[in-house]
Structure 1
Amino acid sequence: MGKLSTTQGTIDRDEIGLLVPHEHIFADLGPMEAENWKDTDPEAVIELIGPEIERAKEAGIDALVECTPEGVGRRVDIDLAVSEATDFPVVVPTGIYQETSIPQWAREMGVAELTEWMLDELTNEIEDTGVRAAWIKVSTDDDDPEGLSDDEEKILRAAARAGAETGAVIGSHTLHGNVAHQQLDIIAEEGYDPSRFIWIHARAEENLDYHERAAKRGAFVEYDWIGGHDQDDQTYIDLVEYMTERGYTDNILLSQDRGYYDPSQPDGGEVDPYTYIVEKFLPKLRAANVPDAAIDTIVHENPLDAYCR
């Protein structure tokens, strides 16, 4: 798996030293019926986000993964405009967000139709942007700890089939550990490898047995609220220590879930820098009881293992 699909075309893995695996350039967190995302001027996003991309480049970040799918204002044309303005590769997804945000057109599609839609974006282009999706973003309902809705399961099965055909990784916004394992079961049922799954926002699950079991199944376990969400860095240092001590260094992803221009907020809202993890967190992690070799694997190798194909 040596190629990374980005807004700047396909890039060889060895050209990317540091890929941050969960960030946002543009996301609409307002009511979907308001459709604020539809009329946003790309130039407004460039003005707000461009300086943060430049700071990221200065901090040694070579590319970032944009994690906004359909249902929360995906605008790949905006991602592309920001990428071109800053000469910075962005990795974008196909896929659909959680139950409350699933577009009506996706509810009306069956598994086969959704699979074809994802395959087209993974192998051809997203809309008319010329940009190929690198991965598949799905989600489960934050407020439902029991399992997937019928439409969420349908979308996941389509993702597994598209993944099996292309090798694309599936990342899921999932706050509940038991639901993450239900997703892994479904992916396996559809004939895809659970090692091509990223459990996004795993930090929300406090039972670390779920984390360990997911890693044992081969999945990536992503801790991606570093520097925000009113959580201190020691929480994440403890998680990295716990997982590395148990032999799961190759399964850990670290990111921030930062950025981003939100068209539901005045002037795009407040933007958090992409540099916290490099400038603040990693020095603390290197001072803790985690070997430098493990940190280098987590930071430099694992994101590329996940997103290259």
Structure 2
Amino acid sequence: MKQLFTTLGPRSKDQLGIILPHEHVFVDLRTPDQPGYAEADEADVVALMAPQIEAIKAQGVTALVECSTGGVGRRADMDLAVSLATNFPIVVPTGNYREPWIPEWVGRASEGELEAWMLRELNEGMDDTGVQAGWIKLSAGDDGITRLEERILRAAARAARATGAVIGSHTIKGRVVMDQLDIIEGEGYTASRFISIHTQAEPDFEMHKAVAARGAWIEYDNIGWVPDEETLPRILRALAAGLGGQLLLSHDMGWFDPAQPGGGTPRPYTTLFGSIVPKLREAGVEEAMIVRLTEENPFEAFAR
């Protein structure tokens, strides 16, 4: 049976509804060698982020995918604290970001060591929290995947193949996504278990279709960052092209930032259901497709 692995344990499809597939609870975009990197007081994180979770619970959201990975301040313990305080499941990744956000130990590790680390986090738990990683998050450079990023990706593909986990990658250029898919398939895994994060940043819509044609998920995750007048036509174009079965929608918002006083000012995760979904309905998108985009697709993408 497919399950979503969360901070509150595995969840089956009938236990969930709306899922936001790309958000952040805690993130530090400084490089890991900076003083104070990823350090914060748990009570401060809960105080700032619990109201953000309560706001989406009021909209009917039942789970959120945390996209902060290794190298950008992943703190599974902070995710767990916020989750417990709100009784709200959060899906946390293993993996690591791109250069230069790669810790020294990851840069030294072999593919086998990286694979073993990801497998341990997927199967046993992360950072002594007991929370199993729900998926693998990584990234690639805008100008092409580096040798170190490729090593991380190959290890991820092997760990994913062994567990059924999905791999999501912050990759801006569609041509780089295609290179990543070649590597994943070369390792014996499948493009259908890959999420092209930030697909909307690729200006060539033909690349969106090409990535989807390989079987991968495409993700439009800047909702709220840009006007609805930009977001709505993009979604409608994808639906008209028949991509609704592989489309994920989210905000890429939040979050507690330890580099900012008091964690900064979070941006809410509420625009999708506060604004975009009503406008999709007004545009004639059928309710079955709304459910697919906001419930079925995220579960199918991240469950294993």
Greater alpha carbon shift after TM alignment, 287-296 vs 254-263? 287-296
Query: Residue 136 of structure 1 aligns to a residue in which SS?
Result: strand
| CA-to-aligned-CA distance 1:199-256 (integer Å, 9 cap, x gap) | 001111000111001111111000001001xx22232222222222222211100000
- Amino acid across the alignment from 1:292: E
1:99 — aligned with what?
Answer: 99
1:59 aligns with 2:54: no
2:116 — aligned with what?
Answer: 116
Note if contact 2:192-2:215 (Cα within 8 Å) is conserved in structure 1. Answer: yes
1:223 to 196, 220, 243: 220
Q: Could you tell me how far apart the structure 1 residues matched to 2:282 and 2:149 are? A: 41
1:181 to 169, 178, 183: 178
Note if contact 1:28-1:36 (Cα within 8 Å) is conserved in structure 2. Answer: no
1:269 to 253, 264, 273: 264
- Amino acid across the alignment from 1:60: G
Q: Could you tell me how far apart the structure 2 residues matched to 1:212 and 1:182 are? A: 15
How far did residue 127 of structure 1 move?
1.9
Q: Could you tell me how far apart the structure 2 residues matched to 1:57 and 1:267 are? A: 24
Q: Could you tell me how far apart the structure 1 residues matched to 2:215 and 2:35 are? A: 38
Q: Could you tell me how far apart the structure 2 residues matched to 1:277 and 1:37 are? A: 31
2:165 to 149, 154, 168: 168
How far did residue 35 of structure 1 move?
4.0
Q: Could you tell me how far apart the structure 2 residues matched to 1:149 and 1:281 are? A: 37
Q: Could you tell me how far apart the structure 1 residues matched to 2:271 and 2:102 are? A: 32
2:48 — aligned with what?
Answer: 48
Q: Could you tell me how far apart the structure 1 residues matched to 2:168 and 2:147 are? A: 18
Task: Compute the RMSD of aligned alpha carbons.
Answer: 1.2
Matches within 5 A, 1:235-246: 235-246=230-241
How far did residue 292 of structure 1 move?
2.8
- Amino acid across the alignment from 1:244: L
How far did residue 287 of structure 1 move?
1.3
1:204 — aligned with what?
Answer: 201
Q: Could you tell me how far apart the structure 2 residues matched to 1:289 and 1:236 are? A: 16
Note if contact 2:169-2:196 (Cα within 8 Å) is conserved in structure 1. Answer: yes
How far did residue 14 of structure 1 move?
1.2
2:150 to 145, 148, 153: 153
TM-score normalised over the length of structure 2: 0.97
2:278 to 243, 259, 283: 283
1:194 — aligned with what?
Answer: 191
TM-score normalised over the length of structure 1: 0.96
Q: Could you tell me how far apart the structure 2 residues matched to 1:286 and 1:21 are? A: 21
1:303 to 270, 289, 298: 298
Q: Which runs of 5+ in 2 are unaligned?
A: none
How far did residue 187 of structure 1 move?
0.6
Instruction: State percent identity of aligned pairs.
Output: 48
Q: Which runs of 5+ in 1 are unaligned?
A: none
2:130 — aligned with what?
Answer: 130
1:252 aligns with 2:247: yes
Moved over 3 A (4+): none
How far did residue 53 of structure 1 move?
0.8
Query: Residue 62 of structure 1 aligns to a residue in which SS?
Result: strand
Q: Could you tell me how far apart the structure 1 residues matched to 2:101 and 2:94 are? A: 15
- Amino acid across the alignment from 2:66: E
1:214 aligns with 2:207: no
How far did residue 38 of structure 1 move?
4.1
Q: Could you tell me how far apart the structure 2 residues matched to 1:51 and 1:190 are? A: 42
Note if contact 1:168-1:196 (Cα within 8 Å) is conserved in structure 2. Answer: yes
Q: Could you tell me how far apart the structure 2 residues matched to 1:115 and 1:136 are? A: 11
1:89 — aligned with what?
Answer: 89
Q: Could you tell me how far apart the structure 2 residues matched to 1:19 and 1:26 are? A: 18
Q: Could you tell me how far apart the structure 2 residues matched to 1:208 and 1:73 are? A: 32
| CA-to-aligned-CA distance 1:24-77 (integer Å, 9 cap, x gap) | 000002343224344311110001001111111111111100000110111101
